[in-house]
Amino acid sequence: MPLRLIHRCLLLVLALVSFVVPAAAATPEQAARQLQAFLDGIPTLGPGYAVVVVDRERQLLGYVRGTRNVASGAPLTMGTPMYIASQTKSYMGLLAQLLDQRGVLRLDSTLAEHWPQLRLPAGVDPAEWTLADLLNHRVPLSADALTTLEAYIGAPDPALYPQLLSMLASARPAGFDYDNLGYNIYAAILYQRTGKRWQDWLQEELFVPLQLHETAARTSAFDSAQLAFNHQWLGQERGWQVVLPKPDAIMHSAGGMMTSPRDLGRWLRVQLGAPVPAGFNAQAIDAAHVIGVQVDPKARNAYELPCNGYAFGWNVCDFEGHTLYIHGGSYTGARSMMAFSPDLGVGIGVFSNSDNATGWLTSRTVVQFFQYLVDHSEAASWAQTRQQTYPKRVAEQLAGMRARQEKERADPRWQGWNWQPTGEKRAIHVGRFRGERLPVDALISEDDGVLRLRIGVLERELQPAVVDLFGAQGGPLDAVEPLRFLRDAQGQVNGFEFDGERYLR
């Protein structure tokens, strides 16, 4: 009998004989219908929202509402690719298990084995930490400059990773600490080992064999007209701000995938034990569900659930006595979440192409479904409360972001924003600069009397405040960040500092 079938049978036996784990009181079909009614009762849900509910055999609910792009008015569909951010990690976790079991890249190999030259901060020995530790957020390193580079500016050459870690990484306390760094390091090692990018490995090992035809790790794989664009709500007067899909340059291994609600349903069915194509190593799926690090169940998390572990891209949590594997994703103008329960035999994926309190709503949509499924005594009252609360949260979030903007602009360091440089004064700041630590170029240009910053794909408008001090702003809801120009001994502008990094001519 195959190992995976034995594993499933044992789970079934445990569920039947245990008096601790409660049985579901509603059918998945009933819970799905109740969830649809709950979503229909939220009048301000938009611009697009999608939910897929599955069991091992089939899709139970395919709920889509609104548009994928308010500028075009094109409808959101079950086949629309949407950005899922950090949910990418579970796909990378399964890929890592497949490659481990094939002997391509062992999960028990250490950082020192792959990079003998690697030098890390005191107290962090590369020989003590494995690739499995990377994918379960156990390696006690932090490198915000590097993860920011991957997620917002542009992926560096993987060959530079040992050098970048030596320069940018710092030690952090031991134990679980969720971050993107481990997955980014794994992808760099994978490329060094095989000469193939993580995107291509996912395509060949997961997307094609599992028939995920509306899924890719490069945005350019799709016609942009078919994609869901992200959105930010600017209020009744200004409406929706359209945010372009993430470009390939910042689609990284910890947050770099587009998938459709339909394909996510297929992915969740695979997690629940649906048949996989001949030749696909099903044992790797179960291996990717094994907890790799314990987590304090009392610690706060985005799911508002007690979670006791992390397993290769999945938070392992408890919901009313049932095991729940869950992970969310967030980025400017988008929120998403997925979860499945092995003992309840169902999975759910939730997508929003806006970020107006939808981090809260996507998680509450997941919880609401499982409350219906277990026939929670307060499911109906919670549904009403959430329907009434969501519009209030949208208004509160917008007000909070505007208040943060105003507070930052009132900071004394800006000295009242009184500096109004002439064209000649602006021109001395224009030019091309090179990162002192980061392997990137930065460009300061002038457009119609306004200075602009570009580093990779990151762009900011520069607002003059005091001589050589500008406020850098991205989107209309972002708070300004300080960008200060530097001068040499002769008083000539020779660089600038921004976001903790220095750039020189």
CATH code of residue 155: 1.20.58
Quick count: other Cβ atoms within 10 Å of Cβ 173? 7
Domain match, 266 and 376 both: yes
Residue that is written with structure tokens 């987590």 in the block: 295
Question: SS3 of 137, please?
Answer: coil
Domain end (from 162, 194, 226): 194
Q: Are 354 and 240 spatial neighbours (Cβ–Cβ below 8 Å)?
A: yes
DSSP string, 76-92: P-TT--EE-GGGHHHHH
CATH code of residue 474: 2.40.128.50
pLDDT in tens, the chain (505 residues): 443 443 444 344 333 333 334 444 579 999 999 999 999 999 888 899 999 999 999 999 999 999 999 999 999 999 999 999 999 999 999 999 999 999 999 999 999 999 999 999 988 999 999 999 999 999 999 999 999 999 999 999 999 999 999 999 999 999 999 999 999 999 999 999 999 999 999 999 999 999 999 999 999 999 999 999 999 999 999 999 999 999 999 999 999 999 999 999 999 999 999 999 999 999 999 999 999 999 999 888 889 999 999 999 999 999 999 999 999 999 999 999 999 999 999 999 999 999 989 999 999 999 999 999 999 999 999 999 999 999 999 999 999 999 999 999 999 999 999 999 999 999 999 999 999 999 999 999 999 999 999 999 999 999 999 999 999 999 999 999 999 999 999 999 999 999 999 999 9
Domain match, 70 and 112 both: no
Domain match, 263 and 174 both: no
Domain match, 400 and 419 both: no
Domain match, 73 and 184 both: no
Q: Are 357 and 363 spatial neighbours (Cβ–Cβ below 8 Å)?
A: no
Domain end (from 393, 410, 427): 410
Q: What is the value of pTM for the model shown?
A: 0.93
What was the pLDDT predicted at 46?
85
What's the DSSP call for residue 106?
-
Q: Please check whether residue 8 lies inside any domain of the structure.
A: no
Question: SS3 of 69, please?
Answer: strand
What was the pLDDT predicted at 495?
98
Q: Please check whether residue 243 lies inside any domain of the structure.
A: no
What's the DSSP call for residue 155?
P
Domain match, 322 and 394 both: yes
Distance set, CA 495 to CA 468, 502, 505 (Å): 10, 7, 6
Structural domain tally of the chain? 3
Counting Cα atoms < 13 Å in the Cβ hemisphere of 156 gives: 23
β-pairing verdict for 441-447 and 230-233: unpaired
Domain match, 266 and 405 both: yes
Question: SS3 of 170, please?
Answer: strand
Domain match, 399 and 436 both: no
Tokens of 427: 């021109």
What was the pLDDT predicted at 480?
97
Numbers of helices and strands, H then E, in the chain: 14, 23
* Domain assignment of residue 485, given as a range: 413-504
